[in-house]
Amino acid sequence: MAGPEPITPGRLLSALQWRYATQRFDPSRPIPAAAWSAILESLRLAPSGFGLQPWRIVSVESPALRRALSAASWNQPQVLEAPRLLVLCRRDRVESLDVERLIALARGQRAISDEEAARWRAGLASFVESGAATDQWAARQVYLALGVLVAAAAVLGVDACPLEGIDPPAYDRELGLAGTGYQTVVAVALGYRAAGDPAATADKLRFPEAEVFTRA
Ligand SMILES: Cc1cc2nc3c(=O)[nH]c(=O)nc-3n(C[C@H](O)[C@H](O)[C@H](O)COP(=O)(O)O)c2cc1C
């Protein structure tokens, strides 16, 4: 299958330069439906270890819930002002159930022999049973999806701010996550910058190339 028409390096870099962790959003400017769908799909398409997708994404629609979450986010203004707020949650414990769910999905979509499925099951089971599939592991996959989301939003000209300055247990309570098998990792506010957000014009603070890249 032919790949997509690549965007130019210049366009990619200008989107990544343009984006910043938006502090003040314009609450009156919603994200168009097509862009919003693409942003959500970018999360669903994000890679994850073994393809296990140990996450669940909550889109916060209720104004009352927004207010409660604002109090659980040190009153950071993005939580109330951004037209969209997502909460990225991790699987609290990756277990054989998750492996079976993925294998069932694969068998529904791909021609997989019983032997291949058994090999796959054994490989994933040894990963899960080794204790490597921890809550920390699941959180790392969620952060990776966050990175995909932030880049996708920038390319679409949509502003975003990842929010780790939140109280995850309070989020879990407000979102009713107890017993669901998922826990809050990070929130993301999305929309468009308000005119006059001082952070929009601040220089990017990035260490120089020589301090970031090493040849080995
Ligand atoms: C995981 C993560 C959590 C963050 N949490 C917050 C936050 O709670 N509030 C905030 O204003 N910015 C937050 N940020 C934004 C960072 O401060 C920002 O990305 C960094 O200073 C670099 O600036 P830039 O994104 O504007 O280029 C977070 C960023 C990341 C990646």
- Shared-domain flag, residues 99 and 188: no
25, 79, 86, 164: which to mutate for ligand 1, most atoms within 8 A of CB? 164
Query: Is position 53 within any domain?
Result: yes
- Shared-domain flag, residues 30 and 63: yes
Mean pLDDT within 102-121: 90
For the CA of 204, the nearest atom of ligand 1: 27
161, 184, 197, 204: which to mutate for ligand 1, most atoms within 8 A of CB? 161
pLDDT band at 2 (very low <50, low <70, confident <90, very high): confident
- Shared-domain flag, residues 64 and 156: yes
- Shared-domain flag, residues 112 and 162: no
Q: What is the pLDDT of residues 25-72, one digit of tens each?
A: 999 999 999 999 999 999 999 999 999 999 999 999 999 999 999 999
Closest C-alpha to 188, from 19, 13, 7, 17: 19
At 176, which CATH number? 3.40.109.10
Cα–ligand 1 centroid distance for 60 (angstroms): 20
Query: Is position 56 within any domain?
Result: yes
- Shared-domain flag, residues 179 and 138: yes
- The predicted structure's pLDDT at residue 131: 87
For the full predicted model, state whether its pTM sits above 0.75.
yes
Q: How far apart, in whole angstroms, are the C-alpha atoms of residue 21 and residue 189?
A: 9
- Shared-domain flag, residues 82 and 31: yes
Cα–ligand 1 centroid distance for 22 (angstroms): 9
Q: How far apart, in whole angstroms, are the C-alpha atoms of residue 182 and residue 190?
A: 22
- Shared-domain flag, residues 128 and 49: no
Mean pLDDT within 138-163: 98
Full residue range of the structural domain in which residue 87 is found: 22-93+134-203
Say what percent of the chain tops pLDDT 70: 100
Across the beta sheet with 159-163, the strand order is: 55-59, 84-91, 182-191, 159-163
Q: Which two tokens stand for residue 134?
A: 């921890």
- Shared-domain flag, residues 89 and 160: yes
- Shared-domain flag, residues 164 and 195: yes
Cα–ligand 1 centroid distance for 67 (angstroms): 21
Nearest CA to ligand 1 atom 9: 163
Mean pLDDT within 9-36: 98
What is the CB < 6 Å shell around ligand 1?
20-21, 23, 76, 161-165, 186, 204
- Shared-domain flag, residues 115 and 156: no
Cα–ligand 1 centroid distance for 96 (angstroms): 35
Into how many domains does the chain fold? 2
